[in-house]
Structure 1
Amino acid sequence: MRLNASIDVARFLLTSGFPFRGHDESEGSKYKGAFLELLNDIVEACAKETTKAITEDLDGDYFGILVDESKDVSHKEQMALILRYVNKRGMVIERFLGIVHNTIGASFKRKDSLRQHQEDKLEELLKFGEVHTGQGLNQERGLQRPSDTHWGSHFKTLDNFLILFSSIVNVLKDMKRDCPYHLDRFVAENLLSKIHEFEFVIMLHLMFKVLLLTNELNKVLQRKDQDIVNAMGLLDLSKKRLQMMREDEWDSMMDEVSLFCGKHGISIPKMNEGYYNGKSKRKRSNISYLHHFRVEVFYAIIDLALQELNNRFDVVTSDLLLGMTSLSPVDSFANFHKDRIMKLAEYYPSEFGNKELREHNFQLDDFIVYAQKCDSKFLNLKGIKDLAKVMIETKLDQTWSLVYLLVKLTLIIHVATASVERAFSSMKYIKNDLRNRMDEDLLNGCLVC
């Protein structure tokens, strides 16, 4: 009776994400001996049964695995494994399989101080007519930590930093003057010195512009209902805009930086003088400030961004994404493109040899005519997921087996890391600030369930 009750309670806690041992989930907590061992055994058994159920549902079919990592609440690197497959009913299934800004944002008092300086600045701007009131205008901004798994957060952080610069300076001055601890005063003084350097300001503006040019692409790739054709268009646009920025926008950016420096009392070095790295003003290098900022910073960062986009979206990736889009049934297969679909199939040589590719070519011709003109069930589908389910329901997966195979292979391709981000969000519920000492086995068992 006690064992059954313990299992029932453990199952309830696992499905609810509740703690087992209060706020302390570590091995060194007050719960000792047989009870602790039994509890860990129950969690492990539940995790194994959950994994077994997933394996049986998979039934030896094709699957994709996406791996990513992030820091948990105790700053340990955790790895998430996401399994993606299509079940026997044509439904896409995703499972969580395993888990093998700081100075100002750290204090409520400093946050309040930042908010007050922001309000005072806004009142001053309103008084002189530099900003206007109205619904949705001049909303309160704050500094947020950029997220490791949310690309757009870095752009938003830099945007807010530029707008709140004077308020941030005032808060740091208050810290430098009023903080009771010497270390806090030292940190504030050091940060004040850093953010008033010309090199910091030019980097702030440069990174803001680079992230601005890729922000729309980032937002599209983060969406669950991804429009790949639109995403590929935005990819090309981002690369062209970065190249245009590299070739034509140095002077305009320098004008913005100079205006910003003049507004906030930041000294601008003479660009024809020899650059020094900050260690000693007496030891100047053979290159000028202009060469350093334009070639070693401006060009180098833009080239790095372009190279990263080319690496992440190479020819193979582009072929895969465009082939996926060409299979989409949206608007009666409006994006259907036979050559792209055949190119997609060629990337699976184990499944599509010469004989299969030839047969697949014929099946595509028959399938698209049937789907567009002969069966109304294919008219209002919203995506490839719906296409797979309808093919199973109508048993057309057997008639055009190679078409369905490619649809299934397409569905298990991970286009973005949204699933992993949701998994990491779950991890923060399980291992939170009050339970940050739980061991890896218990964390893994809880998350699998």
Structure 2
Amino acid sequence: MEKYYKPTSRSNETESSSQKKARVELSPSDIIADPGLRKPIDEYDKEIRDQVRRAYLLNGPTQPIGHTFPRKQQGDHFRSFQESWFKKFDWLEYSVENDSAYCFYCYLFKQPVRSDKFGYEIFTRQGFNNWRKALDAFKEHVGGVNSCHNNARRHCQDFKNQRQSVSHVFSSHSKEAEIAYRVRLTSILHVTRFLLLQALAFRGHNETSSSSNRGNFLELLSWYKEKNPEVAKVLYENAPGNNQMTSPLIQKEMVKACAQETTLVILDEVGDKLFSVLIDESRDASIKEQMAVVVRFVNQTGHVIERFLGVEHVSDTTASSLKVALEGLFARHGLSISRLRGQGYDGASNMRGEFNGLQRRILNENPYAFYIHCFAHQLQLVVVAVAKCSSSVADFFNYTSLIVNTVGASCKRRDQLLQDHHDRIVMKLESGDIFTGRGKHQETSLARPGDTRWGSHYTTLVRLFTMWDSVLKVLENVSDDATNPTQKTTAAGLIEKMESFEFAFIMHLMLKVLGCTNELSHALQRKDQNIVHAVNLIVVTKQNLQHMRDNGYDELLEEVKGFCMKMEIPVPNMDDKIPARGRSRRDGQMVKYSHRYHVDIFLVVLDSLLFEMNERFSEASTNLLKCIACLDPKDSFSKFDHDKLLELASIYSVDFSPFDCTFLRSELGTFISDVRNSTEFSACHDLATFAILMVQTERHLCYPLVYRLIELALILPVATATVERAFSAMKIIKTELRNKMADEWMNDNMVCYIEREIFAVIHDERILQRFQNMKTRKIQLSQISN
């Protein structure tokens, strides 16, 4: 028998198994929005072609609404692609990259046909760009009932309708099985919602049934099953072995469906409106550079909205890489750089570079996407500069950092600080010096000042002032108990420094000064803040600081003297003389105490602060903001200037044609007379509130051109606080313990968590249907209206 059958060795079996083809998985980078950059379907591996088709079908055809299509000469006229063609031909796609049109259905389901069929290559590989004959070519491509295009469309419809597939027909699941499947799927969705809204991890260390650490998803699902008898009937042991719907892959697909539906609501909210973009980049827990993108626009009710669009992993942070990533994100969501009217960045060189930065690259493509340096970052730069404006102030903050580090150097010292502070609060409450109330007298600790953390300098001084006695007590304990001579000497020196008049004077001065800038910083970080109000706030802050410089010294001095009397700190005679700072007594350069504190410290700090404010916030003097300021409704439109608003329209010439400018001239006169005589607008002092009132009174329909100017003013970004909050969310979601999260998985979690107000109200059915359409499922769901 051996001569007929060749014996099979174990080595041959191993060799044949090793030659088996590895399983191919679809990568998110394989799905490219721009039809001119995609690779053909037949170039994908056969195992994932259906997945690719479903991914593209979920995204829909690429139709960049609002894009400025380039014009080129064809024949005797300049011609371009027309946006109205999208409505006439739902299959039509447009490539921004190569200015060509494609067929969505033919790309996905192109059937083998003769090469002479019109559209075989033009609308799938090469791209069509003869706009002079576009309509005739589109109609010819559609052809008759049995044309290649219509056959591809029918294949697409059959592919989308899983209930008519052969596998579904032969599976012949009962109605009861479908009901059980829906209950099971809905239960999983409810658990997923809870975990996403709380930013909790899904996976566990060991997800087997006997494990005590199965992860939040499975543990919460088990608890849900115990509390709901209907769910218990369809989960785990009561569910088919091949349809448990609890695997990690199912979890990720459900989260992806949630994120995509949330993003879809955001994109529907943006619609075809003009918008601005806020961008920043930061490293995540796995040391990957992530770029967060937020869009700012005015919604249908006139409210200023900022929405998180997503995070993109960038290989490097050069301007070219950031722009490629931004274009890819825009293409996936059907947004166009042509609709950009503002850019907001934190001021990093790769962002704001005048010649090669991201803002310049976008301006080269769209000159109306004006760049605004984040006001909150500029304000922090002002604070950092003031903290180093003189040797006395710089020494003060150096000593403050040393005090914070010394007091918080160990858990023992922290506990002593908190306990002593707690005891003093209790004593004051019992004596009636202070009173209880919601949010008052919370447990706190000292904070280190940081140049990159907004408001940290002010927070440090407030807490030091509040815990003054307790800090001194801890320093005394360190001086008494420390075994290290250096620590004893340092603690004794810090006590001496804190109980000096100069330290108390600078602390009170910086509390007043940084208090003004801190209030401005919080105001600038509001999502609905607009450029006009922000500039007004800066002007008011400058006026307050100037008033403090001219008239605030005597009041500050008396306040410091009162504090020193209370804390038994010696107060020097202001007429006595001391050596000028940095000079020896032998040099004879003596100044009075009054000169030192008033001129060398007080005036230097205020002058430095005012100089930095004027230098950093130079945008207020630009022609664009001068024109926008004319829309300010405060004091019955006292800044209204007819000519300046016409100039503003000319700046945004792409949004105001010469015909519009002619009508705007007469519309402005009627508009200003109307709103000044209307009692509805008499109490309006802010442009954002004014826009809302315009919509509520339907005057945005009466004065559409004026309202367009207001929208352009409102979408200019003020601060990148929303992006900073997105990175705070990223630190919650992707932690040191979860540092292996894939980029798409992290992005889906972040979208649902950051935009949880939207995600929480999305109907379950929308998410379930999207989940079903991601791939071919064993059981199909019948459509239920929301």
Q: Same fold (TM over 0.5)?
A: yes
Determine the structure 2 residue equivalent to 1:445: 748
* In structure 2, distance between residues paired with 1:247 and 1:7: 66
How far 1:169 sits from its partner (Å)?
0.7
Can you list the C-alpha shifts for 1:106-140, whole angstroms capped at 9, x where unaligned? Answer: 744531122224556x599x7xxxxx747579x74
Comparing 356-365 with 437-446, greater Cα deviation is found at: 437-446
User: Higher RCO, 1 or 2 (CA under 8 Å, sep at least 6)?
Assistant: 1
* 2:692 counterpart of 1:386: yes
The secondary structure found in structure 2 opposite 1:383 is helix
Size of the aligned set, in residue pairs, is: 417
Structure 1: runs of 5 or more not aligned: 127-131, 277-281
- Quick one: structure 1 residues 218 and 321, their matched pair in 2 at CA, closer, same or farther if it must change by over 3 Å? farther
| 1:21 and 2:203 are equivalent in the alignment | yes
The 1:231–1:48 alpha-carbon spacing in structure 2 relative to 1, beyond 3 Å, is closer
Cα–Cα, structure 1 residues 226 and 435, in superposed 2: closer, same or farther, change >3 Å?
A: same
Does 1:81 find its partner at 2:263?
A: no
1:170 pairs, out of 467, 473, 480, with 473
Pair 1:273–1:379, CA change in 2 (3 A): closer
Correspondence list, 1:304-343, <5 A: 304-310=608-614, 311-312=616-617, 314-316=620-622, 319=626, 322-326=629-633, 334-335=636-637, 338-339=640-641, 341-342=645-646
1:166–1:398 distance in 2 versus 1, CA, 3 Å? closer
Q: Could you tell me which residue of structure 2 aligns to residue 404 of structure 1? A: 707
Q: Deviations over 1:255-307 (max 9, x none)?
A: 7667766745579897315528xxxxx99999889899777755554334223
Give the structure 1 partner of residue 513 of structure 2. 210
Is 1:63 the counterpart of 2:275? The answer is yes
2:79 is matched with which residue?
none
Q: Which runs of 5+ in 2 are unaligned?
A: 1-180, 207-212, 216-246, 313-403, 753-786
Contact 1:319 1:344 in 2 (8 A): no
Distance 1:388 1:440, change over 3 A: farther
Aligned-residue CA RMSD in angstroms? 5.7
1: CA distance between counterparts of 2:525 and 2:273? 28
The Cα shift of 1:228 comes to: 8.4
> What corresponds to 1:161 in structure 2?
464
User: What fraction of aligned residue pairs are identical, expressed as a percent?
Assistant: 32
**2:652 counterpart of 1:348:** yes
List aligned pairs for 1:128-147, cutoff 5 A.
133=433, 140=441, 142-143=444-445, 145=447
Q: CA distance change for structure 1 residues 261 and 48 in 2, over 3 Å: closer, same or farther?
A: same
Structure 1 residue 360 corresponds to structure 2 residue 631:
no
Equivalence for 1:129: none
The one-character-per-residue Cα deviations of 1:164-204 (angstroms, maximum 9, x if unpaired) are 3222110232345458xx79x97786466346435654542
Q: Is the 8 A contact 1:275 1:284 kept in 2?
A: no
User: 8 Å contact 2:305–2:528 — kept in the other structure?
Assistant: no
8 Å contact kept, 1:104–1:111: no
SS of the equivalent of 1:338 reads coil
Give the structure 2 partner of residue 279 of structure 1. Answer: none
Q: TM-score, normalised by structure 1?
A: 0.65
Give the whole-Å Cα distance in 2 for the aligned partners of 1:169 and 1:76. Answer: 43
Task: Tell me, in whole angstroms, the C-alpha distance in 1 between the residues paired with 2:570 and 2:690.
Answer: 55
The separation in 2 between residues aligned to 1:266 and 1:72, in whole angstroms, is 50
2:321 alignment counterpart: none
Q: CA deviation at 1:63?
A: 0.5
Report the Cα distance in structure 2 between the residues aligned to 1:134 and 1:357, rounded to whole angstroms. 62
CA shift in 2, pair 1:300/1:448, >3 Å: farther
Higher helix proportion: 1
User: Which one of 604, 607, 619 corresponds to residue 303 of structure 1?
Assistant: 607
- Equivalent residue, structure 2, for 1:193: 493
Q: CA deviation at 1:62?
A: 0.9
Relative to the length of structure 2, the TM-score reads: 0.41
Match of 1:413 in 2: 716
